[in-house]
Amino acid sequence: MAEPAYSISISVAPSNEAKIDVHHHRPDAGEPKTTHPQPTLTVRSEEPPRQQQNQGTLARSDSTGERDRRFDQFKTLGGRLERQLSSIRGGSQHPHPDPAAAGDDEASRDSEAETDDDSGKVPTADRYFAALEGPELETLRATEVPVLPEDETWPFLLRFPISAFGMCMGVSSQAMLYKTLELEPSTAFLRVSPGVNDVLWWVSAALMALVSFIYFLKVVFYFEAVRREFHHPIRVNFFFAPWIACLFLAKGLPEPVTSFHHAVWYQLMAPILFLDLKMYGQWMSGGEWRLSRVASPTTHLAVVGNFVGALLGARMGLREPALFFFAVGTVHYVVLFVTLYQRLPTNVPLPRDLHPVFFLFVATPSVASVAWARISGEFGLGARVAYYVALFLYASLVARVSFFFRGVRFSLAWWAYTFPVTSAAMATAVYASAMTSALTQALAVGLSAVASVTVAGVLATTVYRAFVRRDLFPNDVSIAIRRRPKAKFGKILKRIRTSSADLKELVVSRHSGGGSASETSSVSEPPTPMVYGRARADP
């Protein structure tokens, strides 16, 4: 073998930095010159940079002078201009007065500046998974630094998430439930007053109007934030929520649904069809949005809308369009159900501990059961199979209810998890009408009571959080992640591992003799193969 050109050694500095030295041997001289200052491949560990980053964030915000500017990158107007300004400012901020003295810090600041222009594009799905944790991917990992300041309260609109529509779903499903209890023969003995449905419906409608108005403002003023919510792997499912809530409102309307104009239904189903095409297409065409990666119980929201629409359509006499949505819902539900039950190792966001999220498992078969009963005209074998599946899943969750509220933080998303309970109660009432017996009627009443109590409890918690503790809308950090990770250490390591040829990409230059450590610069510049990064890039 020929004279080695490089040799590598690893050392760990007291500042917790691992240093990989690449000793260069001159091919002409023939003798390894290890005493010369070597090109170094330095990899940093995380803690010290963490502090530095925070300082950097503060420093940057201080240098900006005005506070509000920092949120401008999420604003619909002005964001782009601001971005250009900041990139100019970012360039002049680091004037490199003494490169030799600056050393590592300088270079790290450079790379920080480099990764900071991430407001232009939406983070990738992988980034969301890498940067966030928790069942709803709603908490920032310890190693991450958000693009917005964590230590102060953001503008209200930025903190108002799409999952707020869950409230509308929860309340309007109650309106539906009481209409069902009032009209179904099996629960007629309860003599539920039509007034309950009336009141709940108007409350729901008012809430829907309010939430829609606020979110509309967010769309207008902070479109970037909405866009980031739409690309959030969990949050995107909640974009079905407004339309499902509307369907609930239509279904729960005190008047009989047969009196509606068919156009109402088509108008409500159009956005659901659009989202179906968008989302299922993303699953199928793969890439980082493939189902085996993004599937979580919340994904049920992306499927249940089809069944709710089918149910309403069948009641309105639109049997064929209803069947269309039922068919679309069914195949994708099967795919989703199998995927969730398998618990693929690639399904990152599923938490080990149980969580209200899991109640969404009950929603789809409950609604599908009633929808199929309405489409086929009777609560036949198919509808009953779906109903019994819902019942079993319900029992399965109740059986482990003790695990539920262990360390689970309340959030607005809980509202979406209350409507399954209501759906199950409604399906039971319809089922009890078909299979009337004391047992089924008792079950219908019991589940309805559970549903009402659950919704009341969540409502009380929400009000308490909103008006007493005033923390109902915390900073929505999940939309404020950086587009690119700060650290590249994992990737570098991966590169080193894959093949020695790739080393060449990192260690591109031959050090030309009597250089000094001050000649080091960023990766992209060939003369010095010095790479900076922080650990824990890849989860």
Chain positions 381 to 410 lying near a copy of itself, rule: CB under 8 A, are 381, 384-389, 391-392, 395-396, 399-400, 403
- Of residues 270-289, which lie at the interface with a copy of itself (CB under 8 A)? 276-277, 280-281, 283-287
Out of 35, 500, 516, 524, the residue judged to bind a copy of itself by CB under 8 A: 500
Out of 503, 515, 519, 521, the residue judged to bind a copy of itself by CB under 8 A: 503
* Bridging pattern class, strands 6-12 and 40-44: unpaired
CB nearer to a copy of itself: pick between 368 and 412 = 368
* Main-chain phi, psi angles of 413, to 5 degrees: -60, -25
- Helix locations, 125-261, DSSP H: 125-131, 156-159, 165-183, 194-221, 223-231, 241-252
CB nearer to a copy of itself: pick between 34 and 93 = 34
Out of 29, 59, 327, 466, the residue judged to bind a copy of itself by CB under 8 A: 327
CB nearer to a copy of itself: pick between 207 and 314 = 314
- Of residues 83-112, which lie at the interface with a copy of itself (CB under 8 A)? 103-104
Stretch that binds a copy of itself, among 69-77, 158-166, 374-382, 407-415 (CB under 8 A): 374-382
CA distance 232 to 175: 30
Out of 222, 240, 379, 489, the residue judged to bind a copy of itself by CB under 8 A: 489
Least distance in Å: CB of 221 to a copy of itself? Answer: 30
- Of residues 415-474, which lie at the interface with a copy of itself (CB under 8 A)? 435
Are the beta carbons of 296 and 350 closer than 8 angstroms? yes
Number of residues that bind a copy of itself (CB under 8 A): 101
- Of residues 343-362, which lie at the interface with a copy of itself (CB under 8 A)? 343-346, 350, 352, 354, 358, 361
Residue 440 to residues 179, 279, 308, 376, 394: CA-CA distances in angstroms? 18, 38, 23, 22, 15
DSSP codes joined into one string, 4-23? PSEEEEEEE-TTSEEEEEEE
- Of residues 5-44, which lie at the interface with a copy of itself (CB under 8 A)? 5-19, 22-23, 25, 27, 40, 42-43
Least distance in Å: CB of 85 to a copy of itself? Answer: 35
CB nearer to a copy of itself: pick between 6 and 415 = 6
CA distance 181 to 189: 9
CB nearer to a copy of itself: pick between 219 and 517 = 517
The dihedral of CA 45, 50, 51, 52: what is its sign? positive
151 binds a copy of itself (CB under 8 A): no
Least distance in Å: CB of 495 to a copy of itself? Answer: 12
Nearest to 444 by CA among 391, 523, 497, 521: 391
* Main-chain phi, psi angles of 493, to 5 degrees: -60, -45
CB nearer to a copy of itself: pick between 201 and 243 = 243
What's the token pair of residue 504? 């060449």
Q: Please report where in the chains the tokens 């089809």 appear, as a residue.
A: 306
- Of residues 513-532, which lie at the interface with a copy of itself (CB under 8 A)? 517
- 1-5: long-range contacts, CB 8 A cutoff, minimum separation 24: 3/27, 3/30, 4/32, 5/510
Out of 142, 263, 438, 501, the residue judged to bind a copy of itself by CB under 8 A: 501
